[in-house]
Structure 1
Amino acid sequence: MTGAGTITKLDGTGWQTVDLKGDWRPSGSLASEHQLRFGYHYDHYVLNSRSYATSDWQNGSQGNLTAAFAGNTQLNAVFAQDTWRLRPGTQLIIGGRYEWWDAYGGATTTGSYTSYDQNRSQQFFSPKAAMLFDLNEQWTLRTAYGRAYRTPTVAELFQGTAASSNTIVNNNPNLKAERADTGEITATRQLNGGTLRLTAFREELADALLSQTNTTVTPNVTNIQNIDRVRTNGLELAWEQSDIGLRGLDVSASLTYAKSEIIANGNNPASVGNPFPGIPEWRATAVVSYRQNDKLSYSLAARYSSFQTSDVNNTVVNTDVYGANSAYFIMDTRISYKLDRQFTVALGVDNLNNYKSYAYHPMPQRTTYAQLKFDY
């Protein structure tokens, strides 16, 4: 079936990234009292989206320009981290990251009308710190705090859709950067051939970036918005063990509980107290692997996630539809054989139990693959 439609071109849209990292040990050895890690990051994202009318959305020729969206984001960042051995059994890790962020060149066109967004520049500093204590030969305690920023993407700022002539919806060039403050306490127990780890964590999220409906304006507007405050508390238990009853038989498993809550949301007050989308209360993983010899190995893995809400108002009732995030239990298996020092072949099956689930769209069902890997 054919008919009138739209041709959209994204020529010129893309990104560039650069990452440089280095380590310096004043004494030149791994046992140095200090170990400094430092680096530089750069990224530049460009949006250049143009839509044209066409009489046939399948095979029609390009007609008049109906809408255009353009803009740039650029980030420069430097970071440094020092691992300091205060005394035997005690380490202090301190670090920071400084970022310079720019959003510029934002422009929206519908018909013959073009609007230009004001250029923006912001700077962010993200500190981090951790203390590690070796309590004895079996127990280690770690406490940590860190702050991180997530700046809005070029699409979140500038990409929109034209509802009608001279009317724009969905883009939001005034979005704030998302800020996360995270703290954790971890206790690790060394076992005979393995480790057991328990972590308690808390994350305070400010100006979280998420698509929601602003119910305080008429008509309501749905787009990427800032949610004032979100809090997540959780526990994670992880276990690793080698050579369980049989040489080469290894097991690793983890279980995570996370309770998220929207604390404040000025654009949608009715959502306060609801879980934050995309964070399941329960998540678990398990992997059993067997190394028959130096060349041949097998593995069987399982992944579980409880239901996670898809929107701030918890309106999704049926989780097995487009737009929903359903619970899942998925198993994967793999067999690997090392032909020689450089070549490895593998055969595997993802979603072995063919579980049907959704993460907004349908997730892949049973998938078989073969792999040939070459290492220099």
Structure 2
Amino acid sequence: MLLPTRPCGPLLAAVLPCLASPLAAQSTDPGNSEPEPAGPTIVVTGALESRSLQSLDTPGLGLAVDADQIAAVNAINTEDVIRYAPGLVVRKRYIGDANATLSLRNMHTTQTPRALVSVDGFVIANFLGASFDTAPKWGVLAPGDIARAEIVYGPSSARYSGHALGGVLRLETEPVSRTAVSLGAQSFFQSYRYYETDEDLFGYALDARADLALGSGGISFAWRHFENEGQPQQWRTVAPGTPYAAQATIDDALGFPLRIAAQDSVVDAREDQFRLRANQELGGDWELRALAALLLDRDGTSEPKSFLTDGDGQPTFVGIAGVTLGRSRSAELLAGLGLKGHLGDWSLDLAVSRFETLDDRSRQSDPADLATGLIPQGGIVTDENARWTTIELTVERAIGPHRLALGASYAGYAGRSRTAPVSDWRTAAPGPVRNASGGKSELIGLFVEDAISLTPALEATLGLRYERWRAADGFLQNAGARVDYRGRTDAAWSPKVALAWRVSDTSELSASLAWATRFPTIGELYQASLIAYGPNVGEIDLGGFDPDLAPERGFDMQVTARQRLGTIDLTLSGYRQNVRDTLFGQTILVAGPGEVPVSQSLITNIGAVETWGVDFIVAAEDVVIEGLSFDGNISWIDARIEGNPLNPALEGNRFPRVPEWRANASLRYAVSDAFELAASVRHQSTPERNLENSASSRCDTFFCVSSFAFVDLKASVDFGPFALDLGVDNLLGERAFVFHPYPGRTFVAGLRWTGGRP
């Protein structure tokens, strides 16, 4: 419920004397039969009632993205729904990008094991590595399935594993409660221009969903077909002095000339989703939920284009390095089953899920011959196998002034990758293995957390988590050479402490301390690099990585002030996080032939990375006029390397891909019950591209990680059973890069029909 407006408390008034916004209190879920805690209700969100966390399971900063906010987004893929949330970015290179990684606050875009992502309690985060290709499995849902998204920043709660070092994203679907059928179509278009690239790119999605009410529950069947042409992801350069190099476009933005001579192929992305969701009340206050999703993906990059022409005026790849052709296919399955209810005075929630790669094969040609410009028939085939099983059990009850929670969890991950040469990259069966790697990991966790009402206005939360980690069956293979690695085990205790003070009915201060340990993934432990010197250059270096990497150990502090004035909410949150033994790739000097130092790039432990940050979040409804809503946030982040024994010269540098500023704003106007307009902007400043913070690190062109300011518009109209959406993303055609280019101006149109009965 919304709290009545009262004057600010004296302490909060001193902290926020001139701010005209407040914060909503934790809302009470009317369907929750659990006893009310004796202590104060902790404010945990920077938005209004519907944007508050529905379950109070964190003493730190958290917020929700509700249905109204989601409706204002031109959502084509699932990850789009959190586009304007504070302090985060999704590295989505093009529409349909399977490698759309999530970064919260101070995370590099490859530090994927620091973000715990789930759907209805079922884990979709990929903890098999730390790379661009270990993004969450967003494709288990379509955007229209999502009712709300809840975000918790930092490792403030003992309920979550060390993979919550950056934060937690919980996607939630709407329970099936009525019989209905819906059919939808969506189309999108962008005209992409850069260098000599000139592409008109189209895409569309078709989906159908049937919901069937079954007594006190229901089941939903859904299918979605998606196709899109993504803009070329890289441009290729030509070496000076080659026959046609003089025709290249010169880009000097990096401080040295890039001779742009060709573009990679447009990305032909296709996906079919088959989804099943179910929820059923079993009687006696027990409820069952289920989710199953089959994903079929096909990608193709078979039409690279050269900007150079030969003597006959024909395009040529002579002298252009790295031009290849490729295609891939995958089939993935996720299944989850959940049960919640009461055993006496205890409430219980159990979630079990399994992800399995049924098929994952990519084919790629060898690079074009520099002398002839011809792309060879030969190439490589890579087969990937991945699977994980997760189990989460939590029990809770209120005992006097205590709200006690106990829990146990299990996560088992296994992965294997195999690459082999083929005589014909399109169709031939793979030959003897060229290289392979793989391994397994397990993480078992136990936790206890107690929220204690010390006074009607003061609540303390004490938590402790124990985790035991095991890595096994790690191996690397290079042709006939194979190395198997011994298993490893480790354990860690992670305490959490928080204090929340309700200064008044509309004001609150809270502070939290949290320790967290994030153990290495398979990909970090068993990820080979290439030999950089001697007669075996380019082959896998079986000793070029560290299977004994230490875990990351983080210490996180957060202080948050919250205030509400009428229909305006505000949150001001400051934090400091220090992570010892940060896992990240860096270039170091190692002994080469004859003990001559040579450069080697590999994943290492960086001594310490320290971050200071501030998040300022405002939400308002009925601003100036009825029906006008606003959400805005701005984040300042200063992440720096404080210790690095392997390369002390990097100490003091900013951590890469973490911008100093992020900001988002969304203005929505409900003209009527059937007509809504939205205008939004998302911005980040230019981050450093590399650990060295070199002169070429900060720029606004291809190869860089640039700033951006994207302006998005959307209009929605309902007429009877039909809903029409029209929108445009990146209205101003901003050119921005995350090494790869982000999409240009993109027009989106969608039409949906829904028919049903209660």
Report the TM range for the smaller structure's normalisation. Answer: 0.7 to 0.9
One of 408, 411, 415 as aligned partner of 1:43 = 411
List aligned pairs for 1:108-187, cutoff 5 A: 108-160=476-528, 163=531, 164=536, 167-168=541-542, 171-187=545-561
TM superposition shift of 1:276:
0.9
Counterpart check, 1:214 vs 2:588: yes
Size of the aligned set, in residue pairs, is 369
Equivalent position of 2:461 in the other structure: 93
Contact 1:170–1:224 at 8 Å: present in 2 too? Answer: no
Contact 1:230–1:264 at 8 Å: present in 2 too? Answer: yes
- Cα distance between partner residues in 2 of 1:115 and 1:35: 50
Gaps of 5+ in 1: 28-32
Deviations 1:123-156 (A, max 9, x none): 1222211111122344321111112222222112
- Cα distance between partner residues in 2 of 1:323 and 1:17: 38
Equivalent residue letter for 1:47: G
Counterpart check, 1:200 vs 2:574: yes
- The SS at the match of 1:25 is strand
List aligned pairs for 1:217-366, cutoff 5 A: 217=591, 218-315=597-694, 316-317=696-697, 319-321=699-701, 323-336=703-716, 346-366=725-745
Gaps of 5+ in 2: 1-374, 592-596
Question: Are the structure 2 counterparts of residues 166 and 26 from structure 1 closer, same or farther at C-alpha, using a change threshold of 3 Å?
Answer: closer
Question: Are the structure 2 counterparts of residues 160 and 291 from structure 1 closer, same or farther at C-alpha, using a change threshold of 3 Å?
Answer: same
Deviations 1:229-249 (A, max 9, x none): 111112222222221111121
TM superposition shift of 1:17:
2.6
Contact 1:322–1:361 at 8 Å: present in 2 too? Answer: yes
Deviations 1:177-216 (A, max 9, x none): 1122111222222212112222221111111111111235
- Cα distance between partner residues in 2 of 1:172 and 1:35: 43
- The SS at the match of 1:243 is coil
- The SS at the match of 1:65 is coil
Question: Are the structure 2 counterparts of residues 297 and 41 from structure 1 closer, same or farther at C-alpha, using a change threshold of 3 Å?
Answer: farther
Q: Which moved more, 1:259-268 or 1:137-146?
A: 137-146
- Cα distance between partner residues in 2 of 1:125 and 1:91: 23
Contact 2:460–2:497 at 8 Å: present in 1 too? Answer: yes
Contact 2:483–2:542 at 8 Å: present in 1 too? Answer: no
Please tell me the root mean square deviation across aligned C-alpha atoms, in Å: 2.7
- Cα distance between partner residues in 2 of 1:365 and 1:59: 35
- The SS at the match of 2:649 is helix
- Cα distance between partner residues in 1 of 2:641 and 2:527: 26
Contact 2:403–2:450 at 8 Å: present in 1 too? Answer: yes
Contact 1:310–1:323 at 8 Å: present in 2 too? Answer: no
Contact 1:200–1:234 at 8 Å: present in 2 too? Answer: yes
Equivalent residue letter for 2:683: Y
Equivalent residue letter for 1:175: L
- Cα distance between partner residues in 1 of 2:680 and 2:488: 46
One of 750, 755, 758 as aligned partner of 1:370 = 750
- The SS at the match of 2:598 is coil
Question: Are the structure 2 counterparts of residues 245 and 204 from structure 1 closer, same or farther at C-alpha, using a change threshold of 3 Å?
Answer: same
Q: Which moved more, 1:196-205 or 1:348-357?
A: 348-357
- Cα distance between partner residues in 2 of 1:38 and 1:294: 44
TM superposition shift of 1:255:
1.5
Contact 2:662–2:685 at 8 Å: present in 1 too? Answer: yes
Equivalent position of 2:379 in the other structure: 5
One of 448, 462, 473 as aligned partner of 1:105 = 473
- Cα distance between partner residues in 1 of 2:509 and 2:569: 13
- Cα distance between partner residues in 1 of 2:570 and 2:676: 24
Equivalent residue letter for 1:330: F
Structure with the higher fraction of residues in strand conformation: 1
Structure with the higher fraction of residues in helix conformation: 2
Deviations 1:98-125 (A, max 9, x none): 2111111001111222111121111122
TM superposition shift of 1:321:
4.8
- Cα distance between partner residues in 2 of 1:317 and 1:310: 5
- Cα distance between partner residues in 2 of 1:43 and 1:182: 24
Question: Are the structure 2 counterparts of residues 117 and 327 from structure 1 closer, same or farther at C-alpha, using a change threshold of 3 Å?
Answer: same
Q: Which has the higher contact order (CA 8 A, sep 6+)?
A: 2
- Cα distance between partner residues in 2 of 1:334 and 1:41: 42
Deviations 1:224-274 (A, max 9, x none): 211111111122222222211111211121111122221111122111110
- Cα distance between partner residues in 1 of 2:728 and 2:393: 37
Contact 2:663–2:682 at 8 Å: present in 1 too? Answer: yes
- Cα distance between partner residues in 2 of 1:231 and 1:150: 16
Equivalent residue letter for 2:623: I
- Cα distance between partner residues in 2 of 1:149 and 1:373: 48
Question: Are the structure 2 counterparts of residues 80 and 185 from structure 1 closer, same or farther at C-alpha, using a change threshold of 3 Å?
Answer: same
Q: Which moved more, 1:287-296 or 1:122-131?
A: 287-296
Contact 1:113–1:166 at 8 Å: present in 2 too? Answer: no
- The SS at the match of 1:325 is coil
TM superposition shift of 1:170:
5.6
Contact 1:213–1:221 at 8 Å: present in 2 too? Answer: yes
Question: Are the structure 2 counterparts of residues 238 and 167 from structure 1 closer, same or farther at C-alpha, using a change threshold of 3 Å?
Answer: closer
Deviations 1:283-304 (A, max 9, x none): 1111112233445433222111
- The SS at the match of 2:466 is strand
- Cα distance between partner residues in 2 of 1:21 and 1:371: 41
Q: Which moved more, 1:350-359 or 1:305-314?
A: 350-359
Equivalent residue letter for 2:440: N
Q: Which moved more, 1:262-271 or 1:73-82?
A: 73-82
- Calculate percent identity across the aligned residue pairs: 28
Equivalent position of 2:390 in the other structure: 17
Question: Are the structure 2 counterparts of residues 333 and 85 from structure 1 closer, same or farther at C-alpha, using a change threshold of 3 Å?
Answer: farther
TM superposition shift of 1:281:
0.9
Question: Are the structure 2 counterparts of residues 338 and 126 from structure 1 closer, same or farther at C-alpha, using a change threshold of 3 Å?
Answer: farther
TM superposition shift of 1:362:
2.0
